[in-house]
Chain A
Amino acid sequence: MAKITFITTDNEHIVVEGESGSAMELAVQNGVQGIDGDCGGVCSCATCHVHVAEGDVAKVGPASEIEQDMLELDDNVTERSRLCCQIDVSDELDGIVLHVAG
């Protein structure tokens, strides 16, 4: 079981829990403002953009090339940007913090 904290652009902290699926799915199920997941998680809509908290980057890992190409054109991109539909939930992610890019 992994606990993941989403911090919205309004600074609301939402803690979600899950064992499988993607971080986007957990966010949508829990109504995290700013994570829409329009395409259902196939890396096509970029409505699931997050910035991984500084200390968690190594845990979450880098974006794939296709994901980077999508992110490259997003207005709020930083080197800690990920599309959270591409972050698979697993025990190793327990405790990570994701900031909604907005």
Chain B
Amino acid sequence: MSKSALPDPFQDARNTKGFGTVNDQDDPVTMVLGLKDVRKCAHNWKTFQSGGEEVGRIVVPSEQAIRDTRQIPFEVDPPQHGDYRALVEPWFKRPLEDEYKARLATIIDELLDEVLAMDSVEVVEEFSLKLQSRALTLLLNIPYQEAEVWIGWGTHVFRSDDTALDAGKANILYDYIDQQIEKASNQPGDDLYSVLLASEINGKKLTKEEVKGVMILTFAGGRDTVINAVTNTIAYFAEHPQSLARIKAEPEITGKAVEELVRYFSPLTHMGRVVTEDTQVCEHAQKAQSRISLCWASANRDERVFENANEVVIDRKINPHVAFGFATHNCLGATHARQILHILLTALADKVTAIEILDHTDNIEDWDEFKRKVGFDALTVKFN
């Protein structure tokens, strides 16, 4: 079996029932699996809410026990959601600017040159984590050196290797963010912390707690997702050198390739919602106050919509995937993530002729009846 392949464990359940069930800390979650159903539920934010009383409950596994800061705008529903979103959206669209792109390209080029000179590279720690951390300094608009701190945390700052929830680890991040907010409030600059601290919604300054909510989301939302996407990309091109050659020969397909890779990888498997009224999901009764999850990974393999759903079709033209979510709460960091992958593909096509996988350990998520490979815990390669 190919090492870069991510099989679809949801197929049977998707086609027979349309849903699956996950037991999360005795608070079960109905996983919605088909693309149309996932979209419909994502769109219906009134019945399937992200806000609500219990902070952290929409995440699966639930973070209720380890977090009481509301992540913003992720855990706020309309109409307030729109105010927060409008405030942060222009900042998160900066990756479209030429200067940002040029700086990101420099970061990626330097890192590639570094690993090209090495005999072997453990991609997760020595490539993806570094790339994600260094790129994040651009998104926050803070000095490049700060990336060293986050690299030092390792890949799992919010979760430990064996347990999904680890309050001690999460606290490293929370304490760090508190400190940075204090620093920015004493000495404002042009970084994201300072910009948020100076922002107002409806004539009211954002509180430090609200700023913290945005910052936690920025750190947490874009960490293992980007690391997985980058690592999977390297594994994919190692086994499909002809795709890399195509990107070199036809750079105009790069954008389509990025969308197709994120569809296939679906770096975030699913995201939960809390049900506000008795309803039905895939003809299955769903009680008020229970939870569902929108399984992006399953929806993105729905063969009723995607031809050759389990293959990477590198120039797929119509690709209505939901890898960045869908509707109101679609991914705020998508522009940054897309730009990272776009520049990475360009740089790989330019500098790398072949990648050889020397060793690998799969990262398999355990969702009860479904075991999903989401990427790698470790991947050792040689770049040529």
Contacts and interface: CB of A to CB of B under 8 A. Distances in A.
B39 A42 contact: no
Q: How large is the interface on A (under 10, 10 to 19, 20 to 34, 35 or more residues)?
A: 10 to 19
B241 interface: no
20 contacts: A38-B338, A39-B259, A39-B319, A40-B259, A41-B255, A42-B317, A42-B318, A43-B320, A44-B319, A44-B322, A45-B330, A66-B305, A66-B318, A66-B320, A69-B36, A69-B39, A69-B305, A69-B320, A70-B320, A73-B39
A46 to B, nearest CB: 9
Given A66-B305, A73-B43, A43 B334 contact: no
Contact of A38 (B40, B256, B335): B335
B interface, by DSSP: helix, strand, loop or mixed?
helix
Interface of B: 36, 39-40, 43, 255-256, 258-259, 305, 316-322, 324, 327, 330, 334-335, 338
Contacts, number: 44
A63 to B, nearest CB: 12
B255 A40 contact: yes
Given A40-B256, A42-B256, A73 B334 contact: no
A interface, by DSSP: helix, strand, loop or mixed?
loop
Interface of A: 38-45, 64, 66, 69-70, 73, 86
A44 B256 CA distance: 11
A64 B305 CA distance: 12
A-B complex: 7 closest residue pairs judged by Cβ atoms: A40-B255, A42-B319, A73-B43, A42-B259, A43-B320, A43-B318, A44-B320
Contacts of A45: 324, 330
Contacts of B318: 42-43, 64, 66, 86
B302 to A, nearest CB: 11
Nearest to B255: A40
Contacts of B330: 45
Contacts of A64: 318
- Which of A42, A64, A69 gathers most chain B CB within 10 Å? A42
